[in-house]
Structure 1
Amino acid sequence: MHDIRIIRDTPAAFDAALARRGIEPLSPGVLALDEARRAMILAAETARAEQNAASKEVGAAKARGDEAEFERLRALVADKKAEVARLEDEAKRKDAELRELLLTLPNLPLADVPDGRDEADNVELRRWGTPPAFDFAPREHFDLPSVRGAMDFATAGKLSGSRFVVLRGAVARLHRALAQFMLDVHTTENGLTEMNTPVLVRDEAMYGTNQLPKFAEDSYQTTNGWWLIPTSEVTLTNTVANEILDEASLPLRMTAHTLCFRSEAGSAGKDTSGMLRQHQFEKVEMVSITTPDQSLAEHDRMTACAEDILQRLGLPYRTVVLCTGDMGFGAQKTHDIEVWLPGQNCYREISSVSVCGDFQARRMNARYRPAGGKPEFVHTLNGSGLAVGRCLIAVLENGQRADGSVLLPQALHGYLGGRTQITAEGVLE
């Protein structure tokens, strides 16, 4: 959420930043609502002062025996009391309107974020690895002989409908091994603290990490009001909501492996084959809470942590910086890491790492106290480290062989009991 004082002081700069996201100028409407709210507050304070002044004179009039003045002043006090209540109620309504408006405005892009309309305007930063050269036509993950019986969309459809999958046997174990491998690297080598958090949260948590109000249709809500998390960014980031942290404790670096749920409301007909886009999936998430001067360096560090997982697995990827038109609602800047999928002959997103500045912290009222100073808002960052299902797809497709078997990355052998491949018959060996 934005600081109204910044919009008030620099409206032209605010509108110019929104324009980079393709949004029409909004500061006039925001400032008009802010001015109306402030006018109501001032009027309420003036009326309260008049009420207090009249209250002091009531006793004096009574003491003088001036009954007429006494009654006039007493009526004036009652009128002013009612006026104060009315003006304060109106100020509260205006304040709520302003907050609701500010909650719908996206974060402002950093100056070095490239301008653009969509993913075609994203800028590649680097590539790692060489896509494998096959002497056969590579297949998509769901069409591999070693996978067909273990990646069951028909049974999942019977249980839950489309965009769900049941994993069996070797593929299920490989999926589990990937998550364990990611967590082990992040906690033992990358300095992240492992967390185990709920997947059901209250409205406040979803507002805090900007899923609400804008993205309600993309999430699932239970009949008693809880929300199923779209990612553990929600829970990990909100652990510091309404807290004042010691500067010495920062940065906080956390990771969690959770189920995630998204309705994919705007993706009808998109990526319907296989398990690339599911309603229920798993991610190993990374979240950092930092001071403002640390956040950009932390963004690069988190990106490197995600890239390192792919390097250890031997999966080719490229890293891009998203343009203003493709960047997420809460981000100031985002790095997308895209893994090579031979079956599609293209790179596909496997991680987004974003720095949000104080945008989420203002929504959560998450602050820190600098040494000898007043509390300030923290900066928050989040990123996938990685999306487990998409990593599974990449391992299967990049490791495929002509007979339909899959050679598995050496980094996973210890997590698979020393087994190195999935045979064409779907057996771990």
Structure 2
Amino acid sequence: MRPVLTNALARRVFLDRHLLLRDEGGPGRGTDLADLVTRLGFVQVDSVNTLARAHDLILWSRRGRYRPRALELAVARDRTLFEGWTHDASAIPMPFWPHWRHRFARMKDRLPGRWEAWQRHDFLSECDGILARIEAEGGLASADTLPAERDPAAAGGPGWWNWHPSKTALEYLWHTGSLAVCHRRGFQKVYDLTERVIPADLRAASPAPEETIDWACRMALDRLGFATGGELAAFLALATPQEVKGWVAGALARGEVEEIAIEGADGSRRTALARPGLVEAAERLPPPGARVRVLSPFDPMLRDRARAERLFGFRYRIEIFVPEAKRRWGYYVFPVWEGDRAIGRIDMARRGGDLAIRAFWPEEGVRMGRGRLQRLEAELERVAGFAGLAGIDRAPDWLRDGPPPV
């Protein structure tokens, strides 16, 4: 019979692997920041900035002394992290770079046809010129390309995904390993030749495909605690589902992993993979603290929305560009966590020099008593300080009675 990880212990394990079970000290910069990202595996980099950028809020949630400049320096000066692609653009520990070689090779095969159909222009003809220009001039951002292309009309109209040919070429060369992000200007990526960004010893390393598959699966399992094969494949998106399936079969046969039953928030059970002894190790973990935390909508603990709902009973969806009157939650609404559960969602953003709070909706069955409200207020003060805001401006009816109607 499979070992069973109760829901309470499963939550505890998941919080622990995502570094949210307890408060940890640390400056949130230099080697401490590199270690933090290594323990998480990566941190998603996203441009949304209603309060703070997603990656900064993710890191600050785990290191209260973290400030955004530290991540910039880790990528641009210290080279302890590099920007690459997992399920999305991410800051990744630099020692991991050799395992991206196989992704680069796959992208060279897959992207040309897809992107030509998507962008409807011949970006490949731009690549040699872009590489020559970067070799001669140094790093280039999209805005540094041909003057005519700086006009959004040259790309068929403005928009996030309306890329002009040189922008597409830059992204293609980055996705296939010829270029690397050397730093950001504002939030715009600046690309340089890979040999000027990635250390020589890492560029010389060339792990075999099976080594990368084995590394990616082990790394994902250790950072999730327990996972299905599909969740292992999705974590870094370095190995295909079929490759992961083969790894799982071998790891089970060797006794390196075992199947266990994970109890969900509703009492149902789901089979997952884990290292042998996980249930016993979970029983030794401390209980979660009572601190209230505001999390990023892109927090790695919540990135898989279906898993968050199964494990925590927390249904959370981000609906983009849907008019306010027709949506329930959106980019302006942040999950609020206490211990091992969500206690609410808060709609807040920068407004002038203040943290403007429109509404806080408690989760179903959550009572906002005096102690919990004080802990929420303390977290909002911390958030305002992190964002460099002078005060907190609350709407008169900001504290709601419960979730709004769908």
TM-score with structure 2 length normalisation? 0.22
Q: Which has the larger radius of gyration?
A: 1
Query: RCO (CA 8 Å, sep 6+): is it higher in 1 or 2?
Result: 1
